[in-house]
Each structure stands twice: as C-alpha cells, then as structure tokens.
Amino acid sequence: MDIDTEEGFAHPLMRWLSGVGEQLDGSMECPTLSLPLDQYEGALRQLAVCEAKLASLRLSLTRQAELNEVRKLTGAANAAGWVQQQTRMGRREAAVSVRLAKALDQTLRATGRALGEGEISLGQAQVIERAIRRLPNDVDAEVKAEAEAFLLDSAQALDTDDLDRAGKHLYEVIAPEDAERRIGKQLEEQERRARENRTLSFGPARDGMGTIFLRLDLPTLAVLQALLDPLARPRPTGPDGPDLRSSERRQADAFAEFLGVAQAAVDAPNRGSIRPRITVTVSYDGLVNKVGYATLNSVLTDSGPAHLEVKSEPDSSGPGVRTLIGYRITGPPVSATLVRQLACDAESIPAVLGGDGAVLDLGRGTRLFTSSQRHALAERDGYFCHFPGCRRPEKWTEAHHIQHWIDGGATDLNNGVLLCQHHHTTIHTQGWTVRMSDNGHPEYIPPPWVDPYQNAIRPNDTTVIRH
C-alpha cells in the first residue's frame, strides 16, 4: 500500500530505507575510538547480522526486478546488466548475485530464511548455492534438501573457506563417481588453461636491478622449485661468517646460480650455433684498474642493445677516409669489478675500448677453462667449492683465475680454482685473496676486518699458517 506524504507517494520500503540511511549516518559519526574493548566483539557480530539482512533484502529486490523485467526501463540486456548499472558491481559479481537471488527464491528457501535472519553471511549463502548447484541433475530433490540442511548446520561453526571444502566433500559423498569424473575434467581444463597462460616478461632495468614477471603452470613450477631447492639452502658457517640471507634472497641467488649452470651446459639452447652469452663494453683503463663502469649488451634497455657502429672521417694523411669501429653505449651500466668477475668463468664477451671508442680487443670464449681443465681442478682440490668451509658441489661452481687473465694470468691448472658463485663474488668484492700455496693447492688470505693478522687459510689443513 502506498503512503501519501508531502513529497508524494512513497512505498513503506523507501521510507524504511530512508530511516536506515539516517541511522547509518549517525553511526558513522560516532567515533569507534571510545568503544570499550569488551564491546568490540558484540559490535562486529551485530554489524555482520545487519549486513546479512541487508544482503537478503537486496537479493529479494533483485529477484522481483528480474520477474518484473525492470531492466527494460534502462535498456539493460538482462537482469545482471541492470544490477551492474545500479550497483556498479562487476559483470561476474552481478551475474552471481542474480543467480543466487533466483536460487534463494526457488530451491534454497531455507538458506534464504537463514540469510534474512542474519544466521549466515552472504558469503556462506553463496557457498551453499554453489555446492548444491554442483550436484548432478539426477540427484533427488529430497537429497538436495538434506544436503542444504547439512550445510546450513555446518555454517554455524565453519567460515566460508571450510564450508566450501565441506560442500566439495559432500558432492564426493553423494555422487562419488560423478565427482571423480567432473573433478578430473575440471583439473584437465585448468591445466590446459594454465599451460596456455604461461607468461614471462622482463621489466625495465634500474639501479642495477631488473624485474621478471613469471606465471607458470604447476608442473613446471614444481620442477623449477625442485631445481632451486638444493641451491637455496643456507650455507654452513665458514670463515666469511654465517649465512644471513633471507629465504627470498637465497631463492634469487639459487636462480642466478642455476642460470649459470644452464648457460655453461653443453646442450644449452643456442641461436645460430652460438651458445647464450652477453657482451660487456668497458674501457681498457677501467677493466685493468677496476674503476669506473661498463655497459651490458642486453635487451634490458628501452633503447635497444649496444651494437657496433661504423664512423668514417677524413684521413689527414691522404684523400681517403679512415674508419673507426666502436660501440654505441645504450645498455644498463655494471661496475668494472663485476666485469672482471664475469670474465673469469661466464659466457660474457668483454669488448675493450680505447679512449676514442675504438675496439682494442674483443675477448673470446677461449679464455674460459675447458671441461677437462675443470675436471682436473676438481681432482686436485676436491669435487666441491674450494673456499674454506664450503661444500657446494663441483657442478655448481665457477672457475676462477687466481691471477686474472686481464692481468696476464693464464688459463691453466696452476692458475685456477673452483668456487661457488657466492664465494667467487666474495673473492672479487670482499677483500679476500686467493693464491697458490707451496703444496700445490690454493690458500686464502682474509681481509683485515675478518682477521687482523691475515693468516693464510688452507681448506684441508687443521691449522692456520702464520707469517
């Protein structure tokens, strides 16, 4: 029955909603800071009840709007479209809302009453609707009613996540054969979509860091985790101290180490018979003196990788021209110290430039230790990282030039030692020195802040050598 007011005719529901709105405005102005702590629980539960009752009213109105085709007043294609227009819900959320409203009106009236009385939440009502809809069509209505009653009773003690699991288990109990078939089919479809939606992209390189965005299907992710797990374990405490890295840092270091092994593999992917490698452009003075920086030839730059550039200038000695070959510097910068480390045992090609940008030398992979030499180093020092206290397996190590090849060191057994990536970095950046001892094995000199006396350490010796 419509009510005559000063503003015209208004339905009681509109007057009630207006009153509720005023009450809500008043509650919003009431500061929660002054609420006694022992009343927080009661306030939160009361709010949950109010939310459930309002949701029940909204769903009832949605159902009536669908039956009366109110959508035609706005030109919406269907009831979900009308709900989306009025509430600014997403398309999927609006469709779920219309479907739930219909179910509560037709087949799940007990659930609708429980929601209207605030006994269950909107999320729990959605879970119950989904669980009953999941049952095969040939399940009797009486069985479905019993299932609904079971879920309503369970909802008094379970949150939406546990209630959803109970609903799935109920399906497996009522229709085990169909559940197995349907679950298997759903998993196959999920796995197919996962394979098709695998993505990997590279973000911009800034401040020495690049970003990878990676989404993998579960089997591929499991393989990656299995490969990284042995590399990500904390290192044992050694002369350089305990392993203080976070688990995320250890995973990232393991991934970097894994890439190094993959790059050095005999059957590594290649392009045009060339194994994966990077080119680093560096000045001669910077490389020798470990100062300044170099440029990484990589796709990690918006302007594209560095490339050889030909520049012609008039020749002062005659009518001809002289050609300078140099590098256009466009890639991200790396330190000269890192270049020296990469040059030890990485598939990197250092392009050494003179002061005028001309290429003085283009280093080649022949500077790297061969597989036979690596095997001989392992036979000499043991099949693991040779740094004191480290037992990283030999297959995860890099061959380090004791006297750097840039400084005239040869790539031979008397000038090499196998180090894991972490300790290879330690030697190059943390003040440690490695040298050949009189017994034909490498020994290590710690920096003064580790040992003020800088006693030489031999990994296999039980005593420290004092000078």
| pLDDT value, residue 265 | 65
Strand, coil or helix: what is 456? strand
Mean pLDDT, all residues of the chain: 78
Long-range contacts of 416-420 (CB under 8 A, 24+ apart): 416/369, 416/373, 416/377, 417/377, 417/381, 417/386, 417/442, 418/374, 418/377, 418/378, 418/381, 418/384, 418/385, 418/386, 418/394, 419/385, 419/386, 419/387, 420/257, 420/385, 420/387, 420/390, 420/392, 420/396
- Short-list 403, 348, 397, 402, CA closest to 375: 397
116 or 168: whose pLDDT is higher? Answer: 116
State mean pLDDT over 182-211. Answer: 80
Percent of the chain with pLDDT over 70: 74
Q: How is residue 176 written in tokens? A: 């085990």
State mean pLDDT over 402-431. Answer: 85
208 or 448: whose pLDDT is higher? Answer: 448
The phi and psi torsions of 138 (rounded to 5 degrees) equal -85, 5
Would you say how long the chain is, in residues?
Answer: 467
Q: In what order do the strands lie in the sheet with 359-362?
A: 333-335, 293-297, 278-283, 348-353, 359-362
In this structure, of 62-66, 172-176, 299-303, the range with the lowest mean pLDDT score is 299-303
Query: How do 278-283 and 348-353 pair as beta strands?
Result: parallel
Residue 451 clears pLDDT 50, i.e. is over it: yes
**Range among 145-154, 232-241, 357-366, 454-463 rated most confident:** 145-154
Q: Are 339 and 366 in contact (CB under 8 A)?
A: no
| pLDDT value, residue 98 | 95
Q: What would the pLDDT profile of 175-185 be if each residue is shown by its tens digit?
A: 777 766 776 67
| pLDDT value, residue 89 | 93
Q: How buried is 383 (Cβ within 10 angstroms: 0-12 exposed, 13-18 middle, 19+ buried)?
A: middle
Q: Name the band, by pLDDT with cuts 50, 70 and 90, for residue 17.
A: confident
Provide CB contacts within 8 A for 215, sequence distance 6+: 197, 198, 199, 200
Residue 357 clears pLDDT 70, i.e. is over it: no
Strand, coil or helix: what is 76? coil
In this structure, of 150-164, 209-223, 324-338, 371-385, the range with the lowest mean pLDDT score is 324-338
pTM above 0.75, yes or no: no
**Range among 127-131, 210-214, 310-314 rated most confident:** 127-131
Q: What would the pLDDT profile of 235-256 be if each residue is shown by its tens digit?
A: 888 787 888 889 899 999 999 8
Q: Are 175 and 134 in contact (CB under 8 A)?
A: no
